[in-house]
Structure 1
Amino acid sequence: MADLKKLTIDDKIRIITGLDTWHTVGVPAADVKSILMSDGPHGLRLQVNEDGQTGDNLGFNGSAPATALPTGSALASTWNRELLSKTGDVIGREAAAHHVNVVLGPAVNIKRSPLGGRNFEYYAEDPYLVGELATAYINGLQAHHVGASIKHFALNNQETRRMNVNVHVDERTMHEIYLAGFKKAITTAKPWTVMTAYNRVNGEYASNSHVLLDILHKDWGYQGAVISDWTAVDDIIASLKAGLNIEMPGNQAVTPAIVKRALAEGTLTEAQLDAAIVPILRLVEKAELQPKTPVPIDLAQQAQAAYEIASETSVLLKNEDAVLPIDKDESVAFIGAMLDQPRFQGGGSSHINAKYLTLIKPTLATTFNEAKSQFLTGYHMDDTPDEQLIAEAVAAAKVHRKVVVFAGLPDKYESEGFDRKDLDLPSQQNRLISAVSAVNDHVIVVLNNGAPVTMPWVDDVAAIIEAYLPGQAIGQVIPDILTGKINPSGKLAETFPQKLSDTPSYLNFPGSINDVYYGEGLYVGYRYYDAKAIPPLFAFGHGLSYTTFAYHDLTVTPTNDCLQITATVQNTGHVAGKESVQFYVSDDSNQVSCPPKELKQFAKVALQPGEQTTVQVEIPFTELAHYDIDAHAWQYTGGPQTVIMAASATDLRLRATVDLPVVAAPALPVNIHTTIGQLLANEATKAIGMQIINGLAKAFGMDPTSDEGSSAGFDQATVLAMLNDLPIRALASFSAGAINEHTIQAWIDQANQQITPK
């Protein structure tokens, strides 16, 4: 690592803000290299112009040719850690070839609402799935000595007023839902950098949030560099003190003067500045590991990897009467403007210049019998009504055996920078699908979109493929799924609701002018639909196959630190296929209020027809912990737990309940606000709680040793229930002076002596 002592004060002042849009400041005299960053959650977006140096951060300008991989929502649908690692590998190879040191990704924010404009870029609504996939991606990327910048830390769940909206969230929800995926990836894969978000969290901008950055550094032990999202810094001095290291993009005309003035006025010390610089020097040291002469990249070879990844992203939502796959010699009408204008990637900072983009229509034209197939437009991409196009489609649907409609959301419907207003497809696409399904019983809908849509025609069509945004291989993958060359194995990483008003955040998204309240708490995604018994359109984890799978012999064995799980999965159909087996856990202990079940493990298996395999996974007890807002820490409590082996959040196959030893939560310091119930709940203070109960019982004329009722008709159990939430401070007034403050303080002192380690 470069020697901090070699840096002058002016060097230090300059180094904490970028040199330009994509570079950090280098100090050759002190052996500090300039770092090159690039966008890249789904492919390298290295911006270049005539001088090869500058660009923008919104995706308006051009970028170097690269491999366009499936977007986050599609990648998550693979439920395949190996493919996420391969995704990182593909991007890492190209980044290293271009001397890029840090790739800005993965983007792992939770999908709080399906309206989120950036949901196509994010993975899932579940933090466990997010953490596992992000870890695999980062490991694949950083194997090439290219650093990941996991983003956006944290609670960046909407684009509406994203620069300044204040997110109000309770501590438990923040840790269990919105930070858990970050924690897993950061502590396990150790990304080189963490990118802070634009928004505020409980009043503080993410870039200067002591709460968030203390969690990152102190609780998780992170020692890498923390960079801001582009133009996200509100107060550079506050950010440096909180734990930010690099402000991006470069602000050399303003930031150094602000920092120099703060040093002169004493509002920032040189020691605080040095603390901010040390992680930058660590980042430079890691960047030096990248070979000076990288291996050239063959984008044609990379294209094969893009196909392999995309082959598992599509989700078969429906397939009545096995209408899919389609024989190449069948009579088929292919309808949709998206055949000619395919949507294969997201917009904004993730827009890739795909050199080897394949198109659907030419592939279909050469795959299916030309004499028996027909191509029609069906609708306009701008949603302009055109009765002639629909009439032509209906006429074709009447004469062909099967109809494949290509539909989805055009670019202007979802992008970085704005949220969606509704969950609907363009109106003319819905009209088209309804019209052709009225005259043909074998309508297949192929969707290209980054997030859930409503489907008013869901009961009228025979099959639905949610192809998401599969990247440059779109023209190969979708025809191969239609013909059965690929057996779809994707499963939804988000819930598709029947209507917008069913969604958990419906009443709290996107909030008011300045604030958004996460009123749904822990009940995000399938957790909410479970708790409210609301049937989704398609459940989290749902995805069909051209074959079928049976689950057998679930066994759950507790060890000292985990649940060891074994089960058998068998392919009971006639073609090879892959199945993502999901393991949910229901906490039956009633010690903590929690959702009905939560995803805690998954495994993907590939099986030939008739083949079976044993799935073996572990669920560490740490995954069964809940965040205790009183202790400000994770607490594992044990008790009865039910493990559910499932094909989706609603397709629950097998259950096994285990009774784990109960682990009492550590007793908190007792004070006047401690309740009687809290004293009784812990073995260390239970005796003190009973002393208080006995004292109150006497004050109410009851015999504390008897279950007989008092003169007022209350028995002991009723009194205990009534007193459970009574704070100690209220004992004097509640007992009408029978218990005085001296006695109360003696009980507090005695309780604290019991819980203080000897």
Structure 2
Amino acid sequence: MSSKLTSDLSLDGRNFESYSEDPHLSGFLAAEYINGVQSQNIAASPKHFLGNEVENGRRWSDSVIDERALREIYLEPFRLLCKHSSPLCLMTAYNAVNGEYCSESPTLLRIVRDEWKYDGVIISDWFGTYSTNEAINAGLDLELPGEAKFRTQEKMTEAIERGQVDPAHLTTILQRVVNLLQKTNRIGLSDTEDARGTLPELSSVPNAETSALLRRAAADGMVLLKNKNNVLPLSVSAGNSIAVVGKPAAEPSIFGGGSASLKPAHISTPLEALRQTYPSLVYSEGVAVQRLVDLACQIKVPESDVRLEWFNSSEPDEKQLFRDEVVPKSEYMMMEDIHAGLADLQSFCTRMTVVIQPPVTAAYRLSLTSPGSQTCYIDGKLVGTVARGAEVVTEDYIFNRARLEQRIDTPIHLESSKQYTLTIVTQSAKHSPVHINREFYVQGSRVGLALIPDDDKDITDAAAKVSASGAAATVVFVGTSTQWESEGFDRVSFSLPLRQNDLIRAVTKASPGPTIVIINAGSAVDCTPWIDEVDAVIQAWFPGQEYGSAISDVLTGRVSPSARLPTTIPRSMEGTCTGDLTGKTEGEKGVQKRIVYQESWAVGYRAFGGSRDWYNPLFAFGHGLSYSDFSYGAIKQELIHDGDAISVAVSVPVKNTGAVEAAEVVQLYVQPPQGSVERPVVELRAFAKTRRLASGEEQTVQLQLSKESFSFWDVETHSWKVEAGEYTVLFAGSTGVGDWLETGERVAITVDKTFHWST
């Protein structure tokens, strides 16, 4: 499921997998997701529990979190999802929290078992188990993946005989695993079967019903950040044309990197979707977006293969050939599943061969990437070599190949009229383990070969093309990709990668009409270099395989944008509580690196107002514009306060007062009275989205508050506390936190007495 449930660091590499900076929003969204997944007889596994807020050094970092922040921000979404759904699994994080590795933390796992009464299976992340006795006694049920290192028959027998592990505890663990198999109908079935029989082959043919659902979900998730003079939606009148700029229009990013990457059935690109509405649109690629040099196979001779040979020798030796195969691209990776016939992991090599034909005569850039040493030849002539040793981190080739990429300094001149044979010899990797857990061996090779870009020329050409187009509007697509946002490493910058900011400014200046920027990124990026110059901005995120159709729907007004930001877009990293991660997470392998959560509970918009007011967003949490307008009627509330139980039913009439069909997200915040401790000025405590309302249509939205809505964690009693007093209810407008709607009379809820609670 989500890599982590609370996103509080703008540069975290896996923000794109997270729900929100708000624990209430994250917890309830996760619960609904879990309920949906498990309704299909599939076990859901929320992760990573807990404090996996950064990727750099995640296997040896220690998240130092104070008690109140731990409860209110980081544990809270997991508590909510356990309460409002019943996830069959829960995955622990690689890192430690307050000195205890999560997979063997008595503190964390006892909260889950004893306080929350969770009875599902707690599993480690891949290679995230670091002990036998400690992990079992803390409550970890499964060591992943198989085969086990710490739960071998020998080690388990020894632990029992020495009295270090109670056999009764193992029986409980076994029963939980059996329960999981029973609940998913897996008892007695093979990997290719389920309760209905043999599993069907997965189809790559798009299903119309599924595509329509994905298209709507993508459109409904896009956030309209700016719309000066209502330049959106674009006119679709006959004869109208637009200019489209940016490589992400033709090569979009639909998901981030790492375990979130999948093979889509197909990809609807913005360029092809917009061409269906604007057949005469003018397109310009603009500047590079990717971090790595493009794969050499992209310029291979059509219908030719990429050949990969494996040798049980340090250099290619035909007598030592044990595997000869065709691979789909000029890169490969071997991990765990060691090929049959490989004699020695420390002494083998591969030879990759690809025949290329350059599209134009020019200078090309060669890059070599591998955990092992590489040598590259073109038509038998040595053109590049890279030596690598044991300093390579195992995970880098899996996730962060940019860290290993070596670009050969000397440009390679190639002619378009010729074909060239590119040969890359790669030696076996000599890397060492990244942690005390087993060494999982990784070997691979990647070769990049592409035109050396001339960004200045590309920007000038794009601007000139837009200027000459006479287009009614210019749509600029920018963003990140799996090479910038991924599991395994954190983002290197808050800025858009490479020269994309310069492209936006040049094209905006040249555009005959308004300029609209589409941000195809999984998390917030710095918009300040150009935000005042452009006319409209849409945060499209990583929207899945129906991206093109969905963004076309939003741009042309077939769908009015209705999403709200689940995270803050800051003006700069200096304007955030956590700032830059550089240098905070790099450490010696196997040595814990402390990451102190100095902001405590003041995460994201919770830093708004009060003594911790570092909240100066460019776009606030909850921000999201529409093509329509809405009005809120008189708020009604019904309070039931019975001892330690509080129940408040709030009803809100919402009317579409605009001219087009649209949906509205109702955001209810609670402002506490001044009390014994400092608290956030406001906290999101309920939310709901209307159906798509026609012009003039009204819907009454029902919201529910409980004792949790008025609580904070009391570090003196180690329990939740509700203080007596008057709590104000606020509703956020289209620009989010701070944009409080006028809803008639002030809405307040009075709590008569102070009390504590724990479950």
Report deviation, 1:226: 0.4
* Corresponding position of 2:83: 187
Q: Is residue 325 from structure 1 mapped to residue 240 from structure 2 by the alignment?
A: no
Alpha-carbon distance in structure 2 between the residues aligned to 1:462 and 1:667: 50
Aligned counterpart in structure 2 of residue 386 of structure 1, from 449, 455, 469? 455
Flag the 1:183–1:509 CA change in 2: closer, same or farther, 3 A. farther
Which of the residues 257, 260, 265 maps onto 2:157? 260
Q: C-alpha distance in 1, partners of 2:19/2:516?
A: 26
Q: Distance in 2 between matches of 1:349 and 1:508?
A: 22
CA distance in 2, matches of 1:222, 1:448: 38
2:751 is equivalent to residue 661 of structure 1: yes
Report 1:133-282 matches (<5 A). Answer: 133-252=29-148, 255-256=151-152, 257-282=154-179
Q: How big is each residue's C-alpha offset from its partner over 1:83-115, in whole Å with a ceiling of 9 and x where there is no partner?
A: xxxxxxxxxxxxxxxxxxxxxx24442112110
Q: Spell out, residue by residue over 1:611-654, the C-alpha distance to the aligned partner (whole angstroms, 9 max, x if none).
A: 22222211112221111112211122231100001122122104
1:538 corresponding residue in structure 2:
619
CA distance in 1, matches of 2:148, 2:117: 30
Paired with 2:83 and 2:637, the residues of 1 have a C-alpha distance of 27
**Amino acid in the other structure paired with 1:575:** V
Which segments of 5 or more consecutive residues in structure 1 lack a partner in the other structure? Answer: 1-104, 669-758
Please give the per-residue CA displacement for 1:483-526, whole angstroms capped at 9, x wherever unaligned: 11121111110000000111111277773541011110110011
Q: Corresponding residue for 1:334?
A: 244
Quick one: structure 1 residues 286 and 412, their matched pair in 2 at CA, closer, same or farther if it must change by over 3 Å?
A: same
Q: Deviations over 1:132-165 (max 9, x none)?
A: 1111101111111111011111111110111121
Identity across matched positions, percent:
34
Contact 1:106 1:137 in 2 (8 A): no
Find the counterpart in structure 2 of residue 650 from structure 1.
Answer: 738
Q: Deviation string for 1:285-305 (max 9, x for gaps)?
A: 212276333785775142222
SS at match of 1:559: strand
> Deviation of residue 382 (structure 1)?
4.0
The DSSP-based 3-state class of the residue aligned with 1:179 is helix
1:582 to 656, 659, 667: 667
Tell me the TM-score normalized by structure 2: 0.71
Please tell me whether residue 565 in structure 1 is matched to residue 650 in structure 2.
Answer: yes
Is contact 2:289-2:479 (8 Å) kept?
no
Q: Which has the bigger relative contact order, CA under 8 A and spacing at least 6? A: 2
Note closer, same or farther for the CA distance 1:411–1:374 as it changes in structure 2 (3 Å cut).
same
3-state DSSP class of the match of 2:17? Answer: coil
Q: Which amino acid in the other structure matches residue 661 of structure 1?
A: V
User: In the alignment, what sits opposite 2:686?
Assistant: 601
- Work out whether 1:498 is the aligned partner of 2:406: no
1:261–1:342: structure 2 CA closer, same or farther, 3 Å change rule? Answer: same
- The 8 Å contact of residues 491 and 543 in structure 1, kept in 2 or not, is answered as yes
Aligned mate of 1:400, from 460, 471, 481: 471
- State the one-letter code of the partner of 2:554: I
CA distance in 2, matches of 1:375, 1:510: 41
| 1:198-244 deviation per Cα after TM superposition (whole angstroms, max 9, x unaligned) | 11011100001111100100000001110001111111220100000
SS in 2 for 1:501: helix
Question: Does residue 1:437 correspond to 2:495, yes or no?
Answer: no
Match of 1:303 in 2: 211
Using structure 1 for the length normalisation, give the TM-score. 0.71
Distance 1:564 1:253, change over 3 A: closer
Deviation at 1:380, TM superposition (A): 1.9
Match of 1:629 in 2: 715
Partner in structure 1 of residue 699 of structure 2? 613
Q: Which residue number corresponds to residue 717 of structure 1?
A: none
Confirm whether residue 366 of structure 1 aligns to residue 276 of structure 2: yes
Once the two structures are overlaid, the 10-residue window that deviates more, 314-323 or 644-653, is: 644-653
SS in 1 for 2:737: coil
**1:563-605 deviation line (CA, Å, top 9, x unaligned):** 2212222211110001101000010142332000000001111
What is the CA–CA distance in structure 2 between the aligned matches of 1:132 and 1:210, rounded to whole Å? 26
Question: How far 1:666 sits from its partner (Å)?
Answer: 6.0
Partner of 1:746: none
CA offset digits 1:169-210 (Å, max 9, x no partner): 111111111111111111221000100111101110000111
Contact 2:668 2:731 in 1 (8 A): yes
What is the CA RMSD across the aligned residues, in angstroms?
2.1
Alignment of 1:415-454 (within 5 A): 415-440=486-511, 442-454=514-526
Matched, 1:525 2:596: no
- Residue of structure 2 equivalent to 1:96: none
1:477 aligned onto 2:558: no
CA offsets per residue over residues 361-405 of structure 1, 9 Å max, x none?
Answer: 2222222042xx201111123475422221222123323231110
Q: Supply the distance in 2 between the matched residues of 1:607 and 1:108 (Cα, whole angstroms).
A: 34
Check whether the contact 1:407–1:446 (CA below 8 A) recurs between aligned residues. yes
> Per the alignment, do residues 627 and 193 of structure 1 end up closer, same or farther by CA in structure 2, a change over 3 Å counting?
same
